[in-house]
Amino acid sequence: MSKAEARIKEVISFFKNKDTVLGYRKLMDCAIDTQDLDIYREVIMLTDWKEQFPEKEDELIEKSLSILERISKVPISEYETNNPVVIGEQLTKSYGYNRFKLGPISVKIHKGEVYGLVGENGNGKTTLLRLLAKELKYDEGHLDFRFDTIYNSDYDLRTNLVYIPQRTQKWYGSLKDNLKFVLSNYGIPPEENETRVLMMIARFGLWNYKHLKWNELSSGYKMRFELARTLLRQPELLLLDEPLANLDVLAQQVILEDLKSMCNSINNPIALILSSQQLYEVEKISDKVIYLKDGKYKDNKTTIADEKNQLIVEIDCEAKRDTLLSIFKDLQLEKLIYNGGIYVAYFKDDTTFSSVLELLGKHQIDVTYTRNISKSTRRFFVS
């Protein structure tokens, strides 16, 4: 089964299980992959109808499956993502004598993958993003961009990468007009411009906000606008600095899932690096998580092989330390630390997370929260 067929099968499953909101977003991703403007127009018309009749879920599913049938007949070529589009080797950046130094850092970035960038404030996340965006010059090392589009200057190069800082600039006029202006700079004919812009507005849930101005939008919708504007440009590399700041939990999850899906486009994938303080949300959608501490690099994959193999569990409960020590005495507990209101328990590698949960339940410990962080970059924060 091809990737396109698997994606369509997944969307059908969402609709059949009445996961309509998610199914419709995934349907639009399938439509965008076709690059067929007639299919775009069908989706645009259906989006307008959907907003007018939100209660007609069964009819929406029927209409969506009909469009999906059309999409399934459009041949889609799969992009080869094996070769990295960015290679950084031993990059360093210093800010004056005896001050902060980033690196040396070596990275390989592939299209179709999401790279989370985490770490406490002041440890180099924004500096690394700005180096990769060519906004800062590195002191030592080598940085090579291997984009599909040939570039003869830094200006040409930067048309293929987009860096969105945490605080975006104010824009004027309506949301829709601003998006149309983006494509007009690429010489897109007016009718195609309108269609592509409306398709992107639909995809990012901006349909009822397309005529609003900058000061009429919440922080979450401003970020959605920035992402829509960026993806219209079809960059090969997208760098986001704290895109989840000022968003509620649900909005964070939606934005991240949308980014993951768009970057995993079958024929036009994007390499995405995003920094965030929302560790678990970012880990959920990332193919690799990069952790920066004092300018030094670790990640959640390559580092594990070099570490002592342990089960590490976070536990938030009202039980006393002595109670937990007693409960876990037969589970090869190596140490129990109390960190910021949460216990962190370290066990030998042959202890299972399920056995920890079983003992907590058996002794009726009222657990507010627990998580296995053995393979999470969270373990770097608490160690």
The torsion region of residue 84 among left (phi > 0), alpha (psi -120 to 50) and beta comes to: beta
Domains of the chain, each with CATH number or no CATH = 3-72 (no CATH), 118-299 (3.40.50.300), 307-382 (3.30.70.980)
Residues 17, 12: Cα–Cα separation, whole Å: 9
Is the pLDDT higher at 114 or at 305?
Answer: 114
323-352 confidence digits (pLDDT tens): 999 999 888 899 999 876 789 999 988 899
Rounded to the nearest 10 degrees, how much is the dihedral formed by the CA atoms of 146, 152, 156, 157? 30
97 neighbors 23 (Cβ within 8 angstroms): no
70-117 confidence digits (pLDDT tens): 999 999 888 888 899 999 999 988 876 667 778 788 889 999 999 988
Q: Which range has the top average pLDDT, 134-138, 164-168, 323-327?
A: 323-327
359-383 confidence digits (pLDDT tens): 999 999 999 999 998 888 777 776 6
